[in-house]
Chains A and B, each alone.
Chain A
Amino acid sequence: MCNPRFVLGAFAASLLIAGCGGGPPETVPPAPIEPPPGRTPQEIADSIARAQFVRDSIRAAQEAEERAQAQAAAAARMTLQQTVYFDYDESTITAATEAALRAKVEVLRGNPGVRLRMEGHADERGTSEYNIALGNERAESVIQFLTNFGLGGDRFTSVSYGEERPAMQGSNEEAWALNRRVEFVITAGGDSIVGS
């Protein structure tokens, strides 16, 4: 991947010759009809071709950068939205959950406008009202973890769904493990997320 700034500097003179400074135009300007004195039509055609090449290179580089930025933003968004899981009847942060939350901390630091809603869930075991309490504890435990890294607590809200919104139906360990979770919903700043 070539550096777009380098490309820009190397071909700045050619740009001036072609008579189209500033940003790259959206459309190719029409070639001059009257050849200026002292230059052959071939020289003029070469000059135009060089300018065209520069414009294309710059556009490709910029598109690549935009693509990279979009990919980084998508990765950041995915990091923010990644669901974290808990042990049975626990709201403590496991090692896997901690790794996922640390990644979120980095994204949240780079995106101070982003706000999140933590949605706490529980598996079906235990009474339904107690599971609402458990879902709340899990969501609050995640918020506590993030604010311990200096992130403002006012950026986070929580809601508990208890056992009422399972990610997977079923009364087995696989379903239970997937249902003991906190999901993350971006409630503000979602349009301008930047990657790191």
Chain B
Amino acid sequence: MRIYGASAHGLGGARARPGVRRRGVATSVESPRVAPARRALSVAVPVLLACAALPGGLSAQEPEAQIPGVALTLLYENLYIPPFAILPFRTTGETPETGALVHGIVARDLDYSDRFRIVDSLPALWDDQQGVQYGFWDQYGVDWLLTGTVERVAGARFLSVELHDIVTASQRARGRFPLPAPDDPGFRMAVHRVSDEIVLWATGDSGIAATQIAFHMPALGDPGSKEIYIVDSDGANRRRVTWDADLAISPEWSPDGSRLAYTSYKSGVPRIYELELATGTERMIGPDGSGQQHSPAYHPHGGEMVFTLTERQQRVVSYNIRDGCCLRLLAGGHAQNLQPAYSRDGRRLAFVSGRLGSATPQVYTMPSEGGTPELLSPYRYGQGGWFADPDWSPVSNQVVFAGGIVNRRTLGRYHIFIAALDTGDNRLIQLTQEGNNEDPSWAPDGRHIVFVGERSDGSGVYVVDAATGRTRRVVANVKASDTDWSPRLASGGGTRQSPRPGL
């Protein structure tokens, strides 16, 4: 990842402790309570990012890649990333192996939150028998310290964690969480939820470890068919959830995370189905009729969905899935219109339209009841370029999409971009630099984005942190498509064990 302009301290390891960090918020909380000021601060991060353009950022692109009037930037906000140390978890009535397993999951979750710099090696001499030695840890240069204990009491397991604020020399928060057995299918998710709580204590925003990513790919053992798979946000626990033996594509999480809507070709005509993850039952939720149905997206309040309906032409329509009625045309006409995505309040839609010419599809927004589309992607006449796959941030007015800003006939590369709607300019943030990248989807924190990348070392599912540019591959060596990030999963979260054999 190339970072322009500001030095990337906090990423590198140079200790920097700005006086503004976390002052006035040092009160220890037993049950976390988020002060409004802190919440506002953390939500502001993406906005800061969008304001971070400098002229130097323009030189990041090939000359032919520039679009007049559009500032394209890779510049990242000068984020301070506090060092975070995690002591090995103690165990009571539980094996050290289980303690190490839980510790490993928590450490990776906190690392993947991209909010902290996890200290890999602890100092040789530390002693927490007499409580946390704040002065010692302050000398060592960490801002946060986490201690934990995995207990087993009368057959029940618990994970107790304490978060210590070294800067203010105080305990920030602590909690005791029930834990299933390590071989329980809900074990990892339960640990992820503890990690997300720790992130909330430290930053005021919950983490995203207890989430999952859905996508489709060629079925293992049956490469001719495509099936829906889901994987935990850290790349663990990949499993197949459809057995259509045909094409099952474009999964989309329901707002509560309990269901997936997707398109299946199993009836011969592509139609939208809904899969209940806890039970594995599915039903057809699209309207009757002869048209092809693609790209479902739930309204944030549930009950309604938008999708692409193709009868000769591709149109964006809405449909009441609660009552099974009220099919409504939102964008039609001669050009293709496809891939609708709701804004976080459900009032607007982003979608793709070929109304400027079928070879240069662009991303538009319009009222979710239908109305005049407004061009969002940076189209310039004669410049070529195409954009697709829009997804609206769940926390802000930013839309992420994929596309190529150069004429696809000459280069054909496509990348992930963010457009911020509230800034009033044409600023565009490019998040990827290598290979081809598509199907972006926001994490519930409005900061991380999952996408499909096609790189020199293979294809896979990638996650990028829009605030730091940190990118990692969470699923390697699969031809995945249509990635969609779940909301935060409060309970089991689709941990149904496969009732059928095979992968």
Contacts and interface: CB of A to CB of B under 8 A. Distances in A.
A, B co-complexed: yes
A88 B314 CA distance: 20
A89 B409 contact: yes
A165 B224 CA distance: 7
A107 to B, nearest CB: 23
A108 B226 CA distance: 34
B109 interface: no
A160 B402 CA distance: 21
Given A129-B295, A136-B292, A164 B226 contact: yes
A159 B361 contact: no
Contact of A129 (B247, B339, B358, B408): B339
Given A136-B292, A160-B292, A161-B265, A127 B226 contact: no
Contacts of A89: 359, 408-409
Interface in A136-170: 136-137, 140, 143, 157-161, 164-165
Contacts of B295: 129
A130 B388 contact: yes
A156 B302 CA distance: 36
B354 A88 contact: no
A89 B384 CA distance: 13
Contacts of A161: 247, 265
SS class, residues of chain B in contact with chain A: strand
Interface string B307-319: 0101011100000
A67 interface: no
A161 B247 CA distance: 9
Contact of A128 (B269, B336, B386, B481): B481
Contact of A91 (B226, B268, B358, B388): B358
B294 A129 contact: yes
Interface in B260-298: 265, 268-270, 290, 292, 294-295
Contacts of B359: 89-90
A164 B354 contact: no
Interface in A105-138: 125-130, 132-133, 136-137
B409 A88 contact: yes
A132 B166 CA distance: 54
How large, as a class, is the contact surface on chain B? 35 or more
Contacts of B226: 164
Given A136-B292, A161-B247, A164-B247, A127 B388 contact: yes
Nearest to B290: A157
Interface in B403-441: 408-409, 412, 414, 436, 438-439
B269 A127 contact: no
Contacts of B388: 126-127, 129-130
A126 B439 CA distance: 10
Contacts of B436: 125
Contacts of A88: 409
Contact of A130 (B250, B270, B361, B409): B361
B151 interface: no
B312 A140 contact: yes
Given A128-B438, A133-B354, A160-B310, A165 B249 contact: no
A16 to B, nearest CB: 57
B389 A159 contact: no
A132 B294 contact: yes
B194 interface: no
B315 to A, nearest CB: 11
Given A132-B294, A133-B336, A164-B226, A127 B439 contact: yes
B223 to A, nearest CB: 8
B310 to A, nearest CB: 6
B158 to A, nearest CB: 44
B482 interface: yes
A143 B310 CA distance: 14
B352 interface: yes
Contacts of B294: 129, 132
A127 B441 CA distance: 13
B438 A127 contact: yes
Contacts of B310: 136, 160
Nearest to B438: A127
Interface string A3-14: 000000000000
A133 B247 contact: no
Contacts of A140: 312-313
Contact of B412 (A125, A136, A158): A125
A128 B408 contact: no
Contact of B338 (A90, A91, A129, A157): A129
A129 B409 contact: no
Contacts of A157: 290
A130 B412 contact: no
B361 A133 contact: yes
Of the candidates A125, A132, A143, A160, the one having the most CB atoms from chain B within 10 angstroms of its own CB is A132
Interface in A62-103: 88-91
Contacts of A143: 312
Given A136-B310, A160-B310, A129 B292 contact: no
Given A133-B338, A136-B292, A157-B290, A127 B402 contact: yes
B292 A127 contact: no
B292 A159 contact: yes
B339 A159 contact: no
Given A89-B408, A127-B389, A160-B310, 10 more contacts: A90-B359, A128-B481, A129-B338, A132-B338, A133-B352, A136-B310, A137-B336, A157-B290, A161-B247, A165-B224
14 contacts: A89-B409, A125-B436, A126-B414, A127-B402, A129-B294, A129-B352, A129-B388, A130-B338, A133-B336, A159-B269, A159-B270, A160-B310, A164-B226, A165-B224
Interface of A: 88-91, 125-130, 132-133, 136-137, 140, 143, 157-161, 164-165
Interface of B: 224, 226, 247, 249-250, 265, 268-270, 290, 292, 294-295, 308, 310, 312-314, 336, 338-339, 352, 354, 358-359, 361, 386, 388-389, 402, 408-409, 412, 414, 436, 438-439, 481-482
- Closest 8 CB pairs between A and B? A127-B438, A128-B481, A130-B388, A127-B388, A133-B336, A129-B339, A127-B389, A164-B247
